[in-house]
Amino acid sequence: MFNRFKEKLAGFKEALSAKVIEKVGAKLENHVPNEPPADDGVAQKAEMTQQTVLEPPKAEIQTAKPKNKFSFLEKAKSLVFEQEVILEEKDLEEPLWALEMALLESDVALPVAEEIVKEVKSDLVGAKKKIGADTGRLAEDALRNALVNLLSRNHLDFDEYIAKAEKPVKILFVGVNGTGKTTSIAKVARYLMDRDYSVVLAAGDTFRAGAIEQLEVHGDNLGLKVVKHKTGGDPAAVIFDAIEYAKAHNKDVVLADTAGRLHTNINLMDQMRKIVRVTKPDLLIFVDEAIAGNDAVERARLFNESVPIGGSILTKTDADAKGGSAISIAYITGKPVLFLGVGQTYPDLVKFEPHWLVDRLMGEAEA
């Protein structure tokens, strides 16, 4: 998961590490004593500086026999690892350019990439940063902070929302064809059932051949009532009937399927607006594939302009090597990502948490 994203970040980490080493070298030139013993076995100062930052040469540390209590090399090493470095804006031009290119090549939308770079720059410029033994950690920490901050801005706790909402909670699913919308409905139904909520399914996709039967298969597998009309019927009427059924039978949640459509299909988008007007859903969820990258982000934006969505589900996240849509979609729409699909079975649905996603983007957790 997100392997391409991790690979692309290497250039940013290397560029920032090189700049930190350069800054440390300048500090050593100014502060390291310039009278090392002639027989100390220490190589040229420039070479020593770089080796000390990356990996102090153990052999030299062990074999050196200084005349004083501490060798020159030990003093230099102490200067490197115990001091702090202050990065200036000019120091970050090359690393930040490498970061922006890495984000764009990972299908992060341009305005999102610019915002991330802005946050990373704000974190690094002018602040005292402890060098430590791993200079690449500076890059990782700054990027992690920027991603968590961005992904947390529009975060919505789905469990808390359902618990507090007036019942039945009416949730409408929209999106284009073939993105896993109907399967996502079944996964969300299973998720809610596992938390002791009662669920009704509404077969509001009366347009696509076989759509009603597909939802019925999921309903049978899960033991759920599926409210349906005949193919070609009025989807708003189907969903309205499902809501009335839920009210009459004290059901907690109505999950309504709709026909897949493109924002350019004027008739279907008009139909969607009618469904929203008639059924007054509490939450409208946009579903698309994570692997669609910027296409998914753009479709979410356009749907949100036509029928304001309340959140998104990204399917096939387990097959996404880049991670761009998972980062971008919430920022672009101003609405939260609610779930990530990570497989084909009903339990393969992960409630979206910013730290969960960032851990995997940064390669700090099992995919």
Residues in the chain predicted with pLDDT less than 50, given as ranges, are: 34-54, 56-57, 59-61, 63-65, 67, 69-70, 72-73, 76-77
Do 186 and 133 share a structural domain? no
Instruction: Specify whether the backbone of 366 is left (phi greater than 0), alpha (psi in -120 to 50) or beta.
Output: beta
**Looking at the domain assignment, is residue 360 inside a domain?**
no
Do 170 and 148 share a structural domain? no
Q: What's the maximum distance between 2 C-alpha atoms anywhere in the chain? A: 94
Do 339 and 199 share a structural domain? yes
Last residue of a domain, one of 152, 186, 205: 152
Do 144 and 71 share a structural domain? yes
**Contact present, 9 and 102 (Cβ < 8 Å):** yes
The CA distance from 179 to 184, in Å, is: 9
CA angle 306, 353, 99 (to 5 degrees): 85
**Looking at the domain assignment, is residue 357 inside a domain?**
no
What's the domain count of the chain? 2
**Looking at the domain assignment, is residue 366 inside a domain?**
no
The CA distance from 324 to 326, in Å, is: 5
Distance of CA 334 to the CA centre of its chain: 14
Do 67 and 179 share a structural domain? no
CATH code of residue 270: 3.40.50.300
Do 329 and 198 share a structural domain? yes
**For residue 22, what pLDDT is reported?**
75
**For residue 263, what pLDDT is reported?**
66
Do 227 and 148 share a structural domain? no
| Predicted confidence (pLDDT) per residue in 190-233, tens digit | 999 999 999 999 999 998 888 999 999 999 999 999 999 988 88
**Looking at the domain assignment, is residue 367 inside a domain?**
no
Do 125 and 200 share a structural domain? no
Do 275 and 134 share a structural domain? no
Last residue of a domain, one of 152, 187, 202: 152
Do 320 and 203 share a structural domain? yes
Do 313 and 299 share a structural domain? yes
| Predicted confidence (pLDDT) per residue in 23-81, tens digit | 766 665 665 554 444 444 444 444 444 444 445 445 444 544 454 544 544 554 455 55
**Looking at the domain assignment, is residue 210 inside a domain?**
yes
**Contact present, 160 and 153 (Cβ < 8 Å):** no
Domain that holds residue 276: 158-351
**Looking at the domain assignment, is residue 363 inside a domain?**
no
Do 53 and 124 share a structural domain? yes
**Looking at the domain assignment, is residue 139 inside a domain?**
yes
**For residue 38, what pLDDT is reported?**
43
Q: Counting beta carbons within 10 angstroms of the beta carbon of residue 362, is it exposed (0 to 12), middle (13 to 18) or buried (19 or more)?
A: middle
Q: What residues contact residue 91 under an 8 Å CB cut-off, 6+ apart?
A: 19, 23
Calculate the dihedral angle through the C-alpha atoms of 335, 157, 255, 312, rounding to the nearest 10 degrees: 30
**Looking at the domain assignment, is residue 198 inside a domain?**
yes
Last residue of a domain, one of 152, 182, 197: 152
List the beta strands (DSSP E) in the chain: 84-86, 128-130, 169-175, 199-202, 225-227, 253-256, 283-289, 311-315, 337-341, 349-351
**For residue 184, what pLDDT is reported?**
96
The CA distance from 20 to 124, in Å, is: 11
CATH code of residue 94: 1.20.120.140
